[in-house]
Structure 1
């Protein structure tokens, strides 16, 4: 009888001592319709991470007949603090939360320098730009693999910087919609 009681206590401790926090660190590659990126997501606390990212975003210019086309890939550097607000709820329903699979709210800060462009056109350029966009998104695992998908939407402000790095009059409101598929090639488990 004592063995059954001890076994019950150990299993109850395992059930109630779940860790609903984000991963300590993940490194991944993501791609989508408008670019590709390498990123790291590091744990700040149980539900907060800092995603740092470098990659290429697609840019377009309207042609004479106002038809937009993707004309260039420009480098981008992004910092994005994230709050994963539903990890405990997902885990309690038996859903997997490894690789930070959950819903999040973030503030995306992206910088597009005018260092170079990957383009077939010679007269293309992208001004220095700094975008600050509050965003809501979801990140999910594809099966039990290290493949993930991510969807997000946000509305924020994009500051266009001129060559002297001072603010210009051509600032704009930006709608950020993203759909990405990625692969997490290194993940440090929770501590």
Structure 2
């Protein structure tokens, strides 16, 4: 009789433990952007080193240093040319569809999702590289953007973004509307 009571007690204890483990697995994990991402990207209009840091569950702050590419020619210059110039960018991003992508069993690692952002960048003529003797004026761009970011392979990613914003030229003391299009392929470290 003692052995039967001991066996029933052990069986009951193991069932309680088993059910409590199942319940703990049902707790939904918090969907969030990555805590910190560091990488390099290259695109049609330059190359950049970037870092994305988590600010909130769906918000990341992207900072980048890079070399932007500008094309010139037409009525202002007799020849067509290119110039690479350094830029510093700060861009808060709101990834709005991470929960939906997760429910559809789509990849959300490394901030794979759609986003809205406010890109603020400063461009300078320091260290500019051109095929002609031209300079680029110091300027600041503020562009609200919509973008798509997808990760593929082990460390690779692709981004497309577009927006219409504002450019202020510090040397000419003038401003203008700009179209900002981006297509980038990158590598994460």
Task: Tell me how far apart the structure 2 counterparts of residues 7 and 135 of structure 1 sit (CA, whole Å).
Answer: 49
Task: Tell me how far apart the structure 2 counterparts of residues 4 and 87 of structure 1 sit (CA, whole Å).
Answer: 36
- Residue among 167, 176, 182 paired with 1:158: 167
Task: Tell me how far apart the structure 1 counterparts of residues 90 and 183 of structure 2 sit (CA, whole Å).
Answer: 18
Post-superposition offset of 1:6: 5.1
Task: Tell me how far apart the structure 1 counterparts of residues 102 and 19 of structure 2 sit (CA, whole Å).
Answer: 21
Task: Tell me how far apart the structure 1 counterparts of residues 92 and 38 of structure 2 sit (CA, whole Å).
Answer: 15
Post-superposition offset of 1:48: 0.6
| Structure 2 counterpart of 1:177 | 181
Task: Tell me how far apart the structure 1 counterparts of residues 43 and 173 of structure 2 sit (CA, whole Å).
Answer: 30
Post-superposition offset of 1:100: 0.7
Task: Tell me how far apart the structure 1 counterparts of residues 79 and 43 of structure 2 sit (CA, whole Å).
Answer: 18
Q: Give the 3 Å change call, closer, same or farther, for CA 65–72 of structure 1 in structure 2.
A: closer
Matched, 1:138 2:142: no
Q: Give the 3 Å change call, closer, same or farther, for CA 42–175 of structure 1 in structure 2.
A: same
| Structure 2 counterpart of 1:189 | none
Q: Is the 8 A contact 1:147 1:181 kept in 2?
A: yes
Higher relative contact order (CA 8 A, sep 6+): 1
Q: Give the 3 Å change call, closer, same or farther, for CA 181–9 of structure 1 in structure 2.
A: farther
What are the superposed Cα offsets for residues 46-66 of structure 1, whole Å, 9 maximum, x if unpaired? 111100000000011114598
Q: Is the 8 A contact 1:75 1:113 kept in 2?
A: yes
TM-score, normalization by structure 1: 0.84
Post-superposition offset of 1:14: 2.9
Task: Tell me how far apart the structure 1 counterparts of residues 21 and 78 of structure 2 sit (CA, whole Å).
Answer: 65
Q: Is the 8 A contact 2:156 2:187 kept in 1?
A: yes
TM-score, normalization by structure 2: 0.85
Which consecutive aligned stretches of 4+ in structure 1 deviate over 2 angstroms post-superposition? 1-16, 63-70
Matched, 1:46 2:51: no
Q: Is the 8 A contact 1:129 1:159 kept in 2?
A: yes
- Residue among 18, 22, 34 paired with 1:23: 34
User: Unpaired segments of 5 or more residues in structure 2?
Assistant: 1-10
User: Unpaired segments of 5 or more residues in structure 1?
Assistant: 186-191
Q: Is the 8 A contact 1:83 1:105 kept in 2?
A: yes
Task: Tell me how far apart the structure 2 counterparts of residues 115 and 80 of structure 1 sit (CA, whole Å).
Answer: 22
Q: Supply the RMSD in Å over aligned alpha carbons.
A: 2.3
Matched, 1:92 2:103: yes
